[in-house]
Amino acid sequence: MLQVEAIHSYYGESYVVQGISMVLKEGEILTLLGRNGAGKTTTLRSIVGLKPPRRGKIVFMGREITRMKPFEVARLGIAMVPEERRIFSSLTVEENLKIGIQKGRVGRWTLESVQKLFPILRERRHHRGNQLSGGEQQILAIARALMGNPKFLILDEPSEGLAPLIIKLIAETIKSLSTEGMTILLVEQNVEMTLQIAHRHYVLDQGKIIYSDTNEGLKNNREIRDRYLSV
């Protein structure tokens, strides 16, 4: 579904992503793990067109998207839920959701179906973005991404700063989306959570992939977890 071939990206003058390659299969949950500053978020920004790589190539469903603009990438069916959630604070919950609609992309997700998945979004539909709690904002950000009926969902630290109950809800949602065929790329600091839902993991350090394994493999590899993933 997605092939990233040796991309190199810079953040200002600093060389953040130093030749990262990865492959995602349809319906799979893949994580990018690693400490702050390892290059995870920049990798995501390169995929969605916010930070095109200086070298390397990105192919999505057989089409090269390396130099596409973010809105073009989104129209192909790649949705990103960014780290800070980026809810439009002056818009209501319902307006936030409606902005996610893409005319060319209809499917399972509509205003009704996301409200059914997350009833809180119906209850709060007239509240403004800035009146929501962190957990509600995260749910809204995911729902807004679903409104465009993507094939591939990218989530950047969805569990950050949230209560265990909401983390559980989000983890279950990610899991069930993937069983329905959605491909998911997940960046997380919460390794425990990813071990419960992911299929495969990549561990990044200083802009390079230093380890990749199946979920079982990472579960059993204490050394990697202690060295690169402990807080």
Partner 1 sequence: MTFDTTLIISQLFNGLVWGIVLGLLAMGLTIIFGMMGVINFAHGALYLVGAYSAYTSIMACTQWMGAATGSFWIALVAAPIAVGLIGMVVEFFLLRRMYEREIIYQFLLTFGLTLVIQELVTIIWGGMPRSFPTPDLLQGVVDLGFMLYPKYRLFVLILTPLIMLAVWLLLVKTRYGAIIRAGTEDRDMVNLLGINVRRVFTVVFSIGAAMAGLAGVLAGPIIGSIQPDLGNSVLLASFVVVVVGGLGSFTGAIAGAILVGLVKAVTSMLWAEASNAIVFALMAVVLVFMPQGLLGKR
Contact residues toward partner 1 (CB under 8 A) are 48, 50, 69-71, 74-75, 79-80, 82, 86, 88-91, 95-96, 98-102, 105, 144-145, 148
- Spatial contact of 20 and 206, defined as CB atoms under 8 Å apart: no
CB of 109 to partner 1, least distance (A): 13
Distance CA 217, CA 201 (A): 9
Among the listed residues 161, 154, 93, the one whose alpha carbon sits nearest the alpha carbon of residue 123 = 93
User: What helix, strand, coil percent values describe the chain, rounded to 5?
Assistant: 35, 30, 35
User: What residues are paired with 92 via a beta bridge?
Assistant: 128
Closest CB to partner 1 among 63 and 222?
A: 63
Cβ proximity to partner 1, 95 vs 213, nearer residue: 95
Give the containing element (helix H, strand E) for 154: strand 152-156
Nearer to partner 1, 148 or 191 (CB): 148
Beta carbon nearer to partner 1, 37 or 70:
70
